[in-house]
Amino acid sequence: RSVHPRVKDIDLVESTGTAVVAQGLEVKGLFAPHDEEDGAINGLSRMYSFTMGGLRLVHLGDLGTSDLSEEEKAFIGRPDILFVPVGGFTTLDALQAKELVDQVNPRVAIPMHYGNVRFYKLAPVEDFARLFSKEDVINLDDSDERFKRVELGETPKIFIFVSAQNE
């Protein structure tokens, strides 16, 4: 199997703070609660932020509450692309995720952690998607999508990778 010449192995970031994982790519991590009790039930998770191709991306990990601290709000800011858990169980549920998207106002929100995953039966992504107007929800059949900052609008678009729903 050939590998694209620009593809390189990068270090896995399993901490908080800032880590350089590849030349010119810094990933910042911040601990965040994995539940509504400030981590007392499920412990802590991590959120990650990085800039790539002129876009600022934030991955919320297993965030379990939409009640953000001032530090978490500052860390998230207003990202271009926000990866947000939506399936409930031990992360945000659809309503909490919608509340967070409304609060953060990313240009793109990509739901994650939904459906049947291993031994968890999480809520379907449709519970989250139906909270937005149909015009703002884009279902993608392919797992390859390119985003350009100049093409992104000011109100959030929800991109759902349909192929990921069956994993």
> pLDDT tens, 48-90?
999 988 899 999 999 999 899 999 999 999 999 999 999 998 8
Task: Give the three-state DSSP class for 35.
Answer: coil
Strands (E), the chain: 17-22, 25-33, 44-52, 55-59, 81-85, 108-112, 116-117, 120-121, 137-140, 157-161
- Cα distance between residue 143 and residue 159, in whole Å: 11
- Cα distance between residue 44 and residue 20, in whole Å: 23
- Note the pTM of the prediction, 2 decimals: 0.84
Q: Which residues on adjacent β-strands are paired with residue 32? A: 45
Tokens linked to 124:
């379907």
Q: Report H helices in the chain.
A: 70-76, 94-104, 125-129
From 30-34, 100-104, 106-110, the region with the lowest mean pLDDT:
30-34
Smallest CA-to-CA distance from 143 within 112, 105, 115, 101 is with 112
Q: pLDDT exceeding 70 applies to what percent of the chain?
A: 83
What 8-state DSSP symbol labels residue 89?
Answer: T
Amino acid at 27: V
Query: Which is more confidently placed, 14 or 140?
Result: 140
